[in-house]
Amino acid sequence: MKIDVVLSPPEIDLLPQRDLKNTTAVVFDVLRATSTIVTALAHGVAEIFPVRTIEEAQSLKARMPGAKLGGERHGDKIDGFDFGNSPLEYREIANAQIITTTTNGTIALRACEHAREVIAGALLNLGAIAKHVLNTEPAELLLVCAGTFRDLAFEDVLASGMLCSRFPKGDLTDSAQTALAVFEQHKRDLLGALRSSQNGRVLISKNRDDEVRWCARVSTFDVLGVLQNGAIRPLRT
């Protein structure tokens, strides 16, 4: 199995032109979009619709009046939305439909939508992802780091490297080897690594260290969020 890592948003821009028909894509936005998606699904949310823009979210809401709006811009809840982008907000809204838009995570998910399979990845469900990949044996595993605005996000690279470490016989590209090296350097203190990242420091400065702690938990949930036909739905491993 070939394992590749997309390290930053400028590379994500090119994904719609890439042939991914034999590829399982795992999108990481550890702080916080994909961690929030995994948390929501683990707590009974039925469907999550990731969209690129606020306008697209509002348009979809008009067609799905029972759905809730969630997401962020610059890390904060969007005016008029029901929820922000904290995973802690999504633990008591079972059976809901959520329409969400975030600065990077939802854009990365939608950029991969033509892949064989698209999974919302986080440290929270990393074990479940590894198990699923072993069971399905895709020709290529593509790990997509959602990033921060137009820049690489350290915590996404770290999570990608951790998943790479679960496949010692994988054929790793140079970018995958880079992610693996980052994980190997920081694997003894994942919480400290997340706290030291740019996004971690920003969240801590806003008194959101509890969110960083939540997102640093490894293999807490056995649920996968699989994107099909515009919606992410839970798949239990």
pLDDT given at position 236: 73
Cα–Cα distance measured from residue 189 to residue 211, given in angstroms and rounded to the nearest whole number:
17
Q: Which domains does the chain have, with CATH numbers?
A: 2-32+104-236 (3.90.1560.10)
Q: Which residues of 6-40 are buried (b: 16+ CB within 10 A; e: fewer)?
A: bbbbebbeebeebebeebbbbbbbbbbbbbbbbbb
Give residue for tokens 């994980």: 183
pLDDT of residue 219: 98
C-alpha to C-alpha distance for 236 and 153, rounded to whole angstroms: 28
Angle separating helix axes 126-136 and 154-165, nearest 10 degrees: 50
For the chain, residues with pLDDT lower than 50 are none
Angle at 189 between CA 196 and CA 199, to 5 degrees: 25
Q: Given this model, what pLDDT does residue 222 score? A: 97
Q: Per residue in 108-143, pLDDT tens?
A: 999 999 999 999 999 999 999 999 999 999 999 999
CA 7 – CA 9 distance, rounded (Å):
7
